[in-house]
Amino acid sequence: MTTQERYRGRGVSSQKEEVHAAIGDSGPGLFPGAFCKIVPDDLTGEAGWCLAMHADGAGTKTVGAYLAYRETGDPSVFEGIAQDAVVMNVDDLLCVGALGPYVYSNTIGRHARRLPGEVLSALLRGFARQEARFADWGLPLLPTGGETADVGDVVATLLLDVTMVTRLKRNRVIANRDVRPGDVIIGLASDGQAAYESVPNSGIGSNGLTSARHDLLSSHYGETYPETFDPETPQDLRYSGPFRLDDPLEGTPLTIGQALLSPTRSHAPLIEALLAENREQLGALVHCTGGGQTKVLRAGRGIHYVKDSLFPPPPLFATLQRVSGTAWREMYQVFNMGHRMEVIGRPSLLPLLEDIGRRFGIAVRQVGHCEAGDAAPPDAPNGVGNRLSIHTPGGVEQYRL
């Protein structure tokens, strides 16, 4: 069975092909190809302004939190899940240059008999903690409430999503179009321990958790908690790994459970410091989420992206690849593999970002460069003529959209 067949067997897709096909006719917004859709600011009618809106959530990471909660009885694991849902929105909006304030609403769908009120309280504490943290960074998060629904007939455990909107001047938008041959690709590490984190981070973020959970965790969890997977999932794809949640993750001070639940790190303070004076040197900002290290293919046009000096795979990803046998090609399509935010632009950005990274305790390195790709007209949509070469531990892999 190929890796792609394993993904489909679990009901997930690394590239979300059907999603992209379904939304293809929804309109490109004011800046086609920008990382988030941007529309006119018709709420105020103020000339020269626009709105950027985004919706995302914690995905199936909520299932990992549910397992930890049922095993330990500690609801605090859900505070990190709130961080996941917030950061997955903010860091996408950063990629169009939006620095807030961010107005947001959350949607919580739960199976009330399995997740009582103490879980809701933990989620709300998690959101409040994020509001305080972003306020400290000068990036206000403004809550507008949300919807909490007991939908046990629909949701077996927990669904957590956030919708977020902000406004910015049109002339401040980063449209991810000004990528040039000779530009550098700079990665901001997703693992380690940032100055604003209290414990080390595995770097997992909020992508690929269905595969990570089933490939790492043992059959104990499927047998004990059958509500945590689709009953149509083939038997050999259900919790097929060797680990329990409290087993140590080799090479780290974390357990497997802690690593899988590491709250998604926001790179907001680094990007804010970068954008303060250096927008004109930027070609693109890319949040390496759905699509992993291939997400960059949607920025610019006629570019050959060469990633030949990536961070070594953090221990969680290396362990996952080893125990599952997943091909390196697919690992880099699904997971961030060591950096979840990348900056593409003029080489002068590298020392600036290295200095900013030292300030916040986050590793920064040049992970690649840009060459001329296939010819694309100047007015072509982002992605036309792009290709990508990734130097993986298993060899060089080539990708196109």
Structure tokens given for 142? 């403004």
d(CA 349, CA 187): 12
Amino acid (one-letter) located at 262: S
Say how far apart CA 139 and CA 143 lie, in whole Å: 13
Q: Which fold has domain 3-199+261-399?
A: 60s Ribosomal Protein L30; Chain: A; (3.30.1330)
Taking the C-alpha atoms of 268, 269, 272 and 278 in order, what is their torsion angle to the nearest 10 degrees? -110
* Residue 85 · residue 58 · CB < 8 Å: yes
Angle at CA 207, nearest 5°, toward 351 and 10?
Answer: 155
d(CA 319, CA 313): 9
pTM equals: 0.93
Beta bridge partner(s), residue 110 = 150, 158
Residue 105 Cα distances to 38, 40, 55, 157, 386, angstroms: 18, 21, 10, 20, 36
For the chain, 401 residues long, give each residue's pLDDT as a single digit of tens: 555 566 666 666 555 555 445 445 567 899 998 999 999 999 998 989 999 999 999 999 999 999 999 999 999 999 999 999 999 999 999 999 999 999 999 999 999 999 999 999 999 999 999 999 999 999 999 999 999 999 999 999 999 999 999 999 999 999 999 999 999 999 999 999 999 999 999 999 999 999 999 999 999 999 999 999 999 999 999 999 999 999 999 999 999 999 999 999 999 999 999 999 899 999 999 999 999 999 999 999 999 999 999 999 999 999 999 999 999 999 999 999 999 999 999 999 999 999 999 999 999 999 999 999 999 998 899 999 999 999 999 999 999 98
